[in-house]
């Protein structure tokens, strides 16, 4: 026990003496949170839409007034008048403008005679986000223009009433669980992967191996230290990230305890997985090469950014055994939904079993000799 | 060090108990045999040197004795314990200084020692005393709070030595303890090891490829090459075993292939080793007589001598005698070679 704690002590002293290491393992996820959170979370404004009016009738004027309303209020787009449809299409293609609305000749007459009036909308669909936003905005304008002037006192159509259980979740809040998990993973990757192999290559482990320390003490000493570092990263990111994202619920004592349990269980799972992957590796380049691949392989199938139900079966299969899935599900259940212990008990159970199993598999693989 | 110092507390080495006994030890990596049936014994309180070039198998030998790699065949007893059967007992009895400097650079000198004392389960009170004592022994007391990364190479090596001693081992293994050190630091390490030997009655086994180090430190030396033990004895015994008492170093102004043959024919000459560019090392029974003959030969041929000197036989000559080559790094065959440049001379 004393020998195991000596390994933990050595690892923790080294960790606290390397401020750059601590900053790097915290800064990267925070930057990711801020950049991705703001990049995905913002509304599209200030795009440019050309209007080609071949009608000039009263209904065409209505359409143009509706566009002016958008430009003045929601600011999704501003309009520019074009006289030539071909030129407008060419400018969309070359990126000078984002879309073009074509109001055909006889448009007003067709509206008045109910003769299938149509508006043309040319859009650059190579930019999914902008084109979707413009299409949605344009569709809502058309729906508004289609609404009858005089509505029935009792609605005859079926309406869907949406009840949102939780307060509005912006992207910063939505990405926070992923960010905390990522901070823990980076800490494990650096501490349990790169530094572990670097120590091996520098001969530090050779120094351990000539002492009477047992294989069990050495493996568990290294892993306890790794898990402590990941827990510290997770706790720091939870606090800092919650302050940035404005997620006050995290500071409730019960939620705090639930988060701590998830962070501890997640750290054990991540560390066990990393130790199993690295237990027979000697080349310091291997963990560095694996860093990016593992990140993609584990983070994306977990549903951290996109729901797993949209993934192909093979990706969903990865998600089933991926500890990220359970860490992020647990974090979301606690941070965004305040789901209580019931919502995270399966996640906690899986992560503990996963962590202990990987360690038990890695221990016999660990070589007590060089 | 000479054979005279191979006694500790007045007891000849032969009468003292054995600290390390190696019998027909073998290490194989697949088809490659790194150590081929080596046997030797080291008495308590003795400094025993394993001498050999890089790749000779000395580090493999020391790693087997320190339980770092398993023994393929044969037996090694260290401190009375079999390294294969009782590795933990062996580990408790020994201190090991690896070839690389492996102390944690981010930790202080004292923290490094404390962590290793804990790894050996040294009780708290004893730990403090041991750390004080080893710091004193390696002259690092005033640097105890310094971060290891601020120490010079020589000081870091002293810290490694202190680390290996912090649990009071009976047997001390040092794998090339002065590699990479400047001459002043090397001499400081030698003095320290001699002091430790006398004050702590340590048995030491060290590997080196420095002949002068082996000559100055070791009571006995084993020369290892290609995984086999080619010679063993005190430095004096080994030097005596080489035919010829002196080495004449001669440097002719002009290189001529005939020089070697002419030198070989001289009376009393037992071996001639060409070193290139007209430089020869001549092993002879009589240094003065051979010197005279060389001067006369050069004068009769109208040749100029750049330098001429006479020395006693050194361990270098011992090594050349037993292995047929000088100490050097093991050459590694390139995996592939570029094709010859068109028109280049072979």
Three-state SS at A248? helix
**B166: its two tokens:** 């912090």
Q: Are residues B228 and B248 in the same domain?
A: no
Of B239, B260, B277, which residue sits at a domain end? Answer: B239
Q: Is residue A162 part of a domain?
A: no
Q: Is the same domain home to A49 and A30? A: no
- pLDDT one-digit tens code per residue, B238-280: 888 877 678 899 998 888 888 888 999 998 888 888 888 889 9
Which residue does chain B place closest to A218, by CA atoms? Answer: B119
Task: Note the pLDDT of residue B335.
Answer: 41
Q: Which of B218, B238, B219, B242 is nearest to B229 (CA)?
A: B238
Domain of residue A27 covers 2-38+170-365
**Separation between Cα atoms, residue B345 and residue B340, nearest integer Å:** 9
Where residue B331 falls among pLDDT bands split at 50, 70, 90? very low
Within a domain: A154: no
Spatial CA neighbour of B65 closest among B84, B37, B45: B84
Buried b (16+ CB within 10 A) or exposed e, A186-207: bbbbbbbbbbbbebbebbbbbb
pLDDT tens profile B105-151? 889 999 999 999 999 999 999 999 999 999 998 999 999 999 999 99
Q: Which of A13, A212, A370 sits opposite B120 (nearest CB)?
A: A212
Residues A186 and A313 in one domain: yes
Chain A residues in contact with B88 by the CB 8 A cut-off are 212
Which residues in chain B have their CB less than 8 angstroms from residue A370's CB?
A: 63, 68-69
d(CA B8, CA B41): 16
In a shared domain, residues B198 and B253: no
* pLDDT tens, residue by residue, A6-44: 999 999 998 888 877 777 777 888 888 888 777 776 678
User: Is residue B131, in this structure, part of any structural domain at all?
Assistant: no
Which runs of E-coded beta strand occur in A252-313?
none
Q: Do A208 and B119 touch (CB under 8 A)?
A: yes
Count contacts between A and B (CB, < 8 Å).
Answer: 71
**Residue A12 touches chain B, beta carbons under 8 Å:** no
B33, B93: one domain: yes
Q: What is the pLDDT of residues B34-85, one digit of tens each?
A: 999 999 999 999 999 999 887 888 889 999 999 999 999 999 999 999 999 9
The whole-angstrom separation of Cα A317 and Cα B69 is: 41
Phi, psi values for residue A307, rounded to 5°: -65, 140
Predicted pLDDT of residue B330: 45
Inter-chain touch A14–B104, beta carbons under 8 Å: yes
Structure confidence at residue B14 (pLDDT): 64
| B80 and B56 inside one domain | yes
How many domains, in total, are found in chain B? 2
* Binary contact (A206, B68; C-beta < 8 A): yes
CATH number at residue B66: 3.40.50.300
Give a yes or no: residue A149 inside a domain: no
Are residues B233 and B308 located together in one domain of the fold? no
Specify whether B234 is located in the same domain as B185.
yes
pLDDT tens, position by position, A52-82: 999 999 999 999 999 999 889 888 899 999 9
pLDDT at res. B10: 53
The nearest CA of chain B is from the CA of A16 a distance in Å of 9
* Beta-carbon contacts of residue A217 (< 8 Å; ≥ 6 apart): A1, A3, A4, A7
DSSP state for residue B311 in the 8-state scheme: E
Whole-number Å distance between alpha carbons of B163 and B95: 8
User: Which of A210, A225, A368 would you mutate first to test chain B, the one with the most B CBs within 10 A?
Assistant: A210
Checking if the pLDDT of A253 tops 60, the result is yes
What mean pLDDT do residues B90-116 have?
Answer: 92
Cα distance between residue A199 and residue A221, in whole Å:
14
Q: Are residues B10 and B82 in the same domain?
A: yes
Question: What are residue B276's DSSP bridge partners?
Answer: B279
B67 contacts A212? CB cut-off 8 A = no
Distance between CA B181 and CA B174 in Å, rounded? Answer: 15
Count up the domains in chain A and report the number.
2
- Looking at the DSSP bridge assignments, the partners of residue A121 are A101
What is the share, in percent, of chain B residues with pLDDT greater than 90? 46
* pLDDT per position as a tens digit, A343-366: 999 999 999 999 999 999 999 999
Among the candidates B189, B209, B239, a domain finishes at B239
User: Over 80: is that where the pLDDT of B13 sits?
Assistant: no
Give chain A's mean pLDDT: 90
**Of B121, B125, B164, whose CA–CA distance to A217 is shortest?**
B121
Other C-beta atoms lying within 10 Å of the C-beta of residue A273: 25
If asked whether residues A280 and A176 sit together in one domain, one would say yes
Q: What is the ipTM of this complex?
A: 0.77
pLDDT of residue B68: 94
* In chain B, residues 82-101 whose CB comes closer than 8 Å to chain A: 88, 91-92, 94, 96, 98-100
- Average per-residue pLDDT in chain B? 85
The 10s digit of each residue's pLDDT in A134-182 is 999 999 999 988 887 777 888 777 878 888 888 888 888 988 999 999 9
Query: Considering the entire predicted model, what is its pTM?
Result: 0.78
Q: Are residues A358 and A217 in the same domain?
A: yes
Q: What's the confidence (pLDDT) of residue A64? A: 92
Chain B CB contacts of A209 under 8 Å are: 67-68
**Does A210 sit within 8 Å of B67, measured CB to CB?**
yes
Question: What percentage of chain A exceeds 90 in pLDDT?
Answer: 59
In CATH, what number is assigned to the domain containing residue B307? Answer: 3.30.70
Identify the domain containing residue B251 by its residue range: 243-312
Does residue B9 carry a pLDDT above 80? no
Please check whether residue B272 is in contact with residue B318, taking contact to mean a CB–CB distance below 8 angstroms: no
**Domain match, A357 and A313 both:** yes
């Amino acid at each position: 026990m004393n020998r195991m704690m000596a390994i933990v002590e050595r690892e923790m002293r080294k960790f606290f003496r390397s401020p750059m290491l601590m900053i790097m393992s915290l800064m990267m996820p925070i930057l990711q949170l801020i950049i991705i959170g703001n990049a995905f979370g913002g509304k599209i404004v200030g795009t440019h839409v050309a209007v080609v009016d071949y009608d000039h009738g009263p209904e065409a004027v209505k359409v143009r007034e509706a566009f002016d309303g958008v430009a003045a209020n929601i600011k999704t787009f501003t309009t520019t008048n074009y006289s030539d449809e071909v030129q407008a299409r060419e400018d969309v293609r070359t990126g000078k403008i984002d879309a073009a609305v074509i109001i055909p000749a006889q448009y007003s007459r067709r509206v008045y005679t109910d003769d299938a009036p149509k508006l043309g909308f040319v859009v650059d669909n190579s930019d999914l986000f902008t084109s979707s936003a413009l299409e949605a905005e344009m569709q809502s304008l058309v729906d508004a223009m289609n609404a009858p002037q005089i509505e029935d006192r009792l609605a005859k159509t079926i309406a869907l009433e949406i009840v949102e259980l939780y307060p509005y979740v912006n992207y910063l809040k939505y990405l926070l669980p992923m960010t905390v998990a990522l901070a823990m993973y980076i800490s494990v990757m650096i501490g349990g992967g790169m530094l572990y192999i670097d120590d091996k290559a520098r001969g530090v482990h050779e120094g351990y191996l000539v002492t009477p320390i047992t294989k069990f003490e050495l493996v568990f000493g290294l892993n306890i230290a790794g898990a402590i570092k990941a827990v510290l990263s997770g706790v720091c990111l939870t606090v800092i990230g919650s302050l940035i994202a404005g997620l006050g619920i995290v500071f409730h004592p019960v939620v705090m305890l639930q988060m701590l349990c998830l962070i501890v269980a997640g750290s054990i799972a991540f560390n066990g997985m990393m130790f199993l992957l690295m237990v027979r590796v000697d080349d310091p380049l291997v963990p560095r090469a694996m860093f990016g691949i593992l990140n993609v392989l584990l983070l994306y199938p977990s549903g951290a950014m996109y729901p797993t139900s949209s993934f192909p079966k093979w990706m969903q299969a990865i998600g089933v055994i991926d500890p990220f899935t359970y860490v992020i599900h647990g974090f979301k259940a606690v941070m965004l939904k305040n789901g209580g212990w019931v919502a995270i008990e399966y996640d906690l159970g899986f992560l503990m079993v996963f962590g202990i199993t990987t360690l038990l598999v890695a221990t016999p693989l660990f070589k007590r000799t060089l | 060090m000479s054979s005279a110092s191979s006694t500790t507390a007045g007891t000849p080495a032969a009468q003292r108990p054995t600290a390390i006994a190696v019998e027909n030890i073998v290490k194989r990596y697949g088809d490659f045999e790194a150590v081929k049936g080596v046997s030797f014994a080291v008495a308590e309180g003795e400094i025993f040197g394993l001498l050999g070039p890089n790749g000779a198998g000395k580090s493999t030998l020391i790693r087997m004795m320190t339980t770092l790699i398993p023994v393929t065949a044969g037996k090694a007893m260290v401190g009375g314990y079999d390294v294969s059967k009782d590795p933990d007992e062996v580990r408790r009895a020994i201190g090991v200084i690896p070839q690389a400097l492996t102390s944690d650079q981010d930790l202080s000198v004292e923290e490094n020692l404390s962590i290793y004392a804990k790894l050996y389960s040294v009780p708290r009170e004893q730990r403090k005393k041991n750390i004080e004592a080893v710091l004193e022994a390696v002259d690092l007391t005033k640097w105890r709070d310094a971060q290891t990364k601020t120490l010079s190479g020589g000081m870091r090596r002293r810290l490694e030595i202190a680390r290996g001693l912090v649990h009071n081992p009976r047997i001390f293994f040092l794998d090339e303890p002065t590699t990479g050190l400047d001459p002043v630091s090397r001499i400081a390490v030698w003095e320290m090891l001699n002091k430790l030997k006398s004050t702590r009655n340590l048995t030491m086994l060290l590997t080196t490829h420095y002949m002068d180090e082996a000559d100055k430190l070791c009571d006995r030396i084993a020369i290892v090459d290609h995984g086999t033990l080619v010679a063993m004895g005190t430095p004096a015994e080994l030097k005596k075993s080489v035919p010829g008492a002196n080495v004449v170093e001669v440097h002719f102004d002009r290189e001529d292939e005939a020089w070697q043959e002419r030198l070989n024919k001289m009376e009393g000459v037992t071996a001639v080793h060409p070193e290139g560019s007209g430089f020869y090392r001549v092993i002879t029974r009589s240094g003065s007589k051979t010197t005279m003959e060389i001067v006369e030969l050069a004068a009769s041929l109208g040749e100029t001598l750049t330098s001429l000197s006479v020395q006693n036989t050194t361990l270098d000559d011992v090594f050349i005698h037993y292995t047929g080559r000088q100490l050097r790094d093991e050459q590694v065959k390139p995996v592939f070679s570029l094709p010859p440049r068109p028109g280049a001379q072979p």
